Homo-oligomer: A and B are copies of this chain.
Amino acid sequence: MTTHTLFETLNPPQRLLMGPGPINAYPRVHQAISQSLIGQYDPVMTGYMTQVQSLYRGVFHTENQQTMLVDGTARSGIEAVLVSVLKPGDKVLIPIIGRFGHLLCEIAERVGAVVRTIEIEWGEVCPAELVEKEIKAFGPKLLATVQGDTSTTMNQPLKEFGELCQKYDVLFYCDATASIAGNELKVDEWHLDAVSAGLQKCLGGPSGSAPITLSDHCAEVINRRKHVEAGIKADHHQNGSDEIIRSNYFDLAMIMDYWGPERLNHHTEATSMLYAARECARLFLEEGADEVISRHKTAGDAMARGLQAMGLELFGNPNYKMNNVVGVYIPQQVDGDKVRQELLNSFGIEIGTSFGPLHGKIWRIGTMGYNARQEAVLTTLAALEAILVRNKAKIIQGQAVIAAMEYYA
């Protein structure tokens, strides 16, 4: 047979990941993910699954029974919610504050929903009045929004949206991938019916697992569409009265049965990723939700102060900035991608480029999870300053680290 190149033993370089995510995982998450595998119906495994449900109730600030993982990246959690809740023809209202709002529209359209959007200028958030007006005019089944949109670094306030959804009997879903664990998120208090997330931002894990939570009401809406797979049980379960969900993999009615006491077989749970997700949640709850969020705010503010002390201008409305990422205008004298490359090649530090209308205009610098700490902030500022000076950018020298240290002090 043909000889195939085997390539070298895996040996990734040590990077300091200060972009909009993914970021470096907590060391304990690396330990957890490498643990021995066990069978999917081993009582230890089902025990871990139940623990993960409990732990993520803590992360989401919710009492929702239906709290679990979808086996895929953060984006899989979004699609699981939208395809399970929205039947073809159902109406969904989507405020768009950045790229990931467009993603919600795109997914909703593909599942056959009728989408109405509220497009907000990049760098701002959507006022609740606009949402109320559109709810009244459009009468959606679902309001779907992104909380923290890393493309613009804006954090959409959700409390008033939740109140409107209560008032007008609209289901309320939020993609909290980039905001969770770095910014306040109170699922029950804010009347959210569905939230999806990912590990690779402030939760400090690898991409590949999507924690989600569903209110009892939302779970009931989804369960009306339940159809148990042929070939699993000799005697079929009762199926729901509503139209079947268009996806098998993302059928949350079946996924709830897999995680629930029935433990009806669906996919084969991704054990290693579940180990990682479990450890991310334990780290968050052990440190304490308020403490973790405050650590993100401090790190993010220190980074912002440092950048401003260099004379750089920040992007977006500062009143709504996410704690865990900042957008900063690329100085006119330099090539943004060249600076990023030099940072990566000389310091092993990664910062982010940007999408769409902001491409080539701003960098995005994150301070998330394990990297929401002083050393990471100071190292990034010192390195960025050095590379900017080397590239003859007109910046103020020697002040960035001092400003960040003073903020920390």
Contact = CB atoms under 8 A, between A and B. Distances in A.
Nearest to A353: B41
A42 B4 contact: no
Given A79-B247, A247-B79, A40 B58 contact: no
B110 A244 contact: yes
A275 B98 CA distance: 31
B1 A268 contact: no
A394 interface: no
A24 interface: yes
A2 to B, nearest CB: 7
Interface centre among A112, A249, A265, A279 (most CB of B within 10 A): A249
Interface of A: 1-2, 4-7, 10-15, 17, 19, 21-25, 30-40, 42, 44-45, 48, 51, 54-55, 57-58, 71-76, 79, 83, 98-103, 105-107, 110-112, 151, 198, 200, 206-208, 229-234, 244-250, 265-273, 275-276, 278-279, 282, 285-286, 288-290, 344, 350, 355-357, 359
B350 A39 contact: yes
B102 A231 contact: yes
7 contacts: A7-B51, A24-B36, A71-B76, A76-B76, A103-B231, A103-B248, A206-B271
A332 B406 CA distance: 77
A31 B35 CA distance: 10
B19 A36 contact: no
Nearest to A43: B344
B229 A110 contact: no
Contacts of A57: 4
Given A11-B35, A24-B37, A268 B51 contact: no
A222 to B, nearest CB: 15
Given A10-B279, A285-B6, A270 B271 contact: no
Given A200-B268, A267-B75, A355-B231, A25 B37 contact: yes
A50 to B, nearest CB: 10
A39 B10 contact: no
A200 B99 CA distance: 35
Contact of A42 (B15, B37, B100): B15
B207 A271 contact: yes
A406 B288 CA distance: 59
A275 to B, nearest CB: 6
Contacts of A230: 102, 105-106
A106 B272 contact: no
Contact of A73 (B44, B103, B270): B270
Given A22-B268, A99-B232, A17 B39 contact: yes
A249 B75 contact: yes
A22 B272 CA distance: 11
Q: Top 7 closest A-B pairs, CB basis? A: A208-B270, A34-B34, A102-B231, A4-B58, A99-B231, A206-B272, A72-B72
A229 B79 CA distance: 14
A290 B353 CA distance: 45
Interface centre among A48, A206, A279, A282 (most CB of B within 10 A): A206
Contact of A36 (B12, B244, B265): B12
Given A1-B290, A72-B72, A357 B234 contact: yes
Given A42-B344, A208-B208, 11 more contacts: A4-B54, A12-B48, A19-B39, A31-B34, A39-B350, A42-B350, A105-B230, A106-B230, A107-B248, A111-B247, A208-B271
Contact of A249 (B32, B58, B76, B344): B76
